[in-house]
C-alpha cells in the first residue's frame, strides 16, 4: 500500500470520514507528488509546495478551494511525519488566501410556511405528481424540522439495524427514525452521533411518504427512507431538483436549495431561543465557531425589522 492509500485508509477506518470527503481528499492529494516534493534535487519541500499552490491559484481556483486543498496536504504531511517518512512538516508557516465570509442564506418564517404548509391528498393510486409532492414535502419538513444536512437525510434507513450494517461496511452519514421516542438518531460528520426531535408535522409527512414508498420499492433489500423513481436511494441532485420545484410551485420568488432549510432551522431557532449552545448541539457542529455565523444572521434579521418598523430608522448614522 503506497503512502497516499495508507493515509486515505486512516481517514476511512479511524476518522470515519464520509465518502464525499474521502473523494475530495483523494483529488486534493493527486494534485501533488510527495515523492517529487521530498526529492533531494532542486528547491526545498516548502518552496515546492508554495510554488504548487501558486500554480493552483493562478489557474483560477477560489480561496475556499485552495484552503481546502492546503488543509488536506497538511493532514497528509502530518501523517507522514508520524510514520517517520519525513523529519519535519514542510507546510509550517505557509498561509493560503483567506476564505471570503458569506452569511448563510435562509428563508424567513413566512417564506418557510409558504413552502411547507401545503395540503396534499394521500392516495397511493394517484398520479406520480402526488408521489413527488409527498416526497418533496416529507424531505423538506425533515430538513427544516430537524436541521439535518441533506446527506444525513438521504442516508436515513428504515431501521437501526439497516443503518449499522451500512455503516460497518463503509463510513456514511445518516441514521434512522425512532418512532417510539419521536426522535431521529443521526451519525454526522466525523462519525459524530446526535439526536434531534422528530416534529409532529415531520412525522405526519413521513408517514404519508412511507405509505407510498412501500409500493415503489422493487428491491426488498433497499433500506433507504427516501428513494428515487428507480427504487434506489434518492440522490442529492434529485433532492435538489425536488425542493427547487416545490419552492417554485409554492410561489416563492427565489431559488431554494436543501441546505437553505438547515440554515433556516438554525436561524429561526436562534431568533426564538437565543441559545447558541443548543443550536450547536442540534446542528451537530464540532465547534461553536461554526454556529456563531447565525448570530450575524440573527442580527441582520433584527436590523431589517428595525429598518421597517422604527420611526427613526432612516436617521441612523451610516
Active site residue 285: yes
Catalytic residue among 149, 205, 213, 263: 149
Active site residue 26: no
Max Cα–Cα distance, the chain, nearest Å:
72
Distance CA 140, CA 115 (A): 9
Q: In the structure grid, which three cell numbers stand for residue 109, read together?
A: 418564517
Question: What element of type H or E holds 260?
Answer: helix 258-273
Residue 96 Cα distances to 64, 82, 103, 172, 290, angstroms: 9, 24, 21, 30, 20
Whether 89 is catalytic: no
Dist. CA 66–CA 57, nearest whole Å: 7
Catalytic residue among 15, 52, 74, 189: 189
Q: Which of 17, 133, 233, 294 is catalytic?
A: 294
Residue 35 CB partners (closer than 8 Å, separation 6+) = none
Task: Please state the φ and ψ torsions of residue 95, each to the nearest 5 degrees.
Answer: -110, 145
The single residue listed with the C-alpha cell 425533515 is: 142
Active site residue 233: no
Catalytic annotation present for 7: no
In angstroms, rounded to a whole number, what is the distance separating the alpha carbons of residues 221 and 278?
37
DSSP secondary structure, 87-129, as one string: SS-TTTT---PPPPP-PPP---HHHHHHHH-------TTS-HH
Catalytic pick among 57, 194, 259, 301: 259
Among residues 64, 1, 73, the alpha carbon closest in space to that of 33 is found at 73
Cell of 286: 464540532
- Of 17, 262, 263, 268, the catalytic one is 262
Is 230 in the active site?
no
The separation between CA 273 and the C-alpha centre of its own chain, rounded to angstroms, equals 23
**Catalytic residue ranges:** 149, 189, 259, 262, 285, 294
Amino acid at each position: 500500500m503506497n503512502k497516499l492509500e495508507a493515509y486515505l485508509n486512516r481517514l476511512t477506518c479511524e476518522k470515519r470520514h464520509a465518502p464525499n470527503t474521502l473523494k475530495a481528499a483523494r483529488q486534493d492529494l493527486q494534485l501533488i507528488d510527495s515523492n517529487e516534493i521530498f526529492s533531494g534535487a532542486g528547491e526545498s519541500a516548502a518552496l515546492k509546495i508554495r510554488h504548487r499552490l501558486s500554480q493552483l491559484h493562478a489557474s483560477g481556483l477560489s480561496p475556499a478551494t485552495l484552503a481546502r486543498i492546503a488543509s488536506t496536504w497538511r493532514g497528509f504531511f502530518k501523517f507522514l511525519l508520524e510514520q517517520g517518512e519525513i523529519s519535519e512538516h514542510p507546510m509550517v508557516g505557509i498561509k493560503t488566501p483567506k476564505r471570503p465570509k458569506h452569511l448563510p442564506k435562509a428563508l424567513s418564517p413566512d417564506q418557510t410556511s409558504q413552502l411547507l404548509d401545503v395540503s396534499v391528498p394521500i392516495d397511493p393510486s394517484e398520479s406520480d405528481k402526488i408521489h413527488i409532492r409527498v416526497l418533496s414535502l416529507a424531505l423538506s419538513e425533515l430538513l427544516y424540522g430537524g436541521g439535518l444536512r441533506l446527506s444525513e437525510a438521504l442516508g436515513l434507513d428504515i431501521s437501526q439495524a439497516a443503518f449499522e450494517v451500512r455503516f460497518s461496511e463503509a463510513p456514511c452519514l445518516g441514521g434512522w427514525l425512532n418512532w417510539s421516542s419521536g426522535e431521529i438518531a443521526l451519525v454526522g460528520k466525523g462519525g459524530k452521533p446526535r439526536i434531534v426531535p422528530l416534529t409532529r408535522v415531520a412525522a405526519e409527512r413521513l408517514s404519508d411518504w412511507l405509505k407510498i414508498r412501500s409500493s415503489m420499492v422493487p428491491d426488498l433489500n433497499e433500506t433507504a427512507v427516501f428513494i428515487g423513481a428507480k427504487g434506489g436511494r434518492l440522490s442529492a441532485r434529485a433532492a435538489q431538483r425536488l425542493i427547487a420545484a416545490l419552492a417554485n410551485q409554492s410561489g416563492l420568488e427565489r431559488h431554494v436549495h436543501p441546505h437553505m432549510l438547515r440554515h433556516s432551522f438554525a436561524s429561526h431557532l436562534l431568533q426564538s431561543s437565543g441559545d447558541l449552545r443548543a443550536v450547536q448541539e442540534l446542528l451537530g457542529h464540532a465547534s461553536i465557531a461554526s454556529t456563531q455565523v447565525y448570530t450575524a444572521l440573527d442580527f441582520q434579521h433584527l436590523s431589517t425589522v428595525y429598518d421597517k418598523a422604527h420611526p427613526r430608522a432612516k436617521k441612523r448614522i451610516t
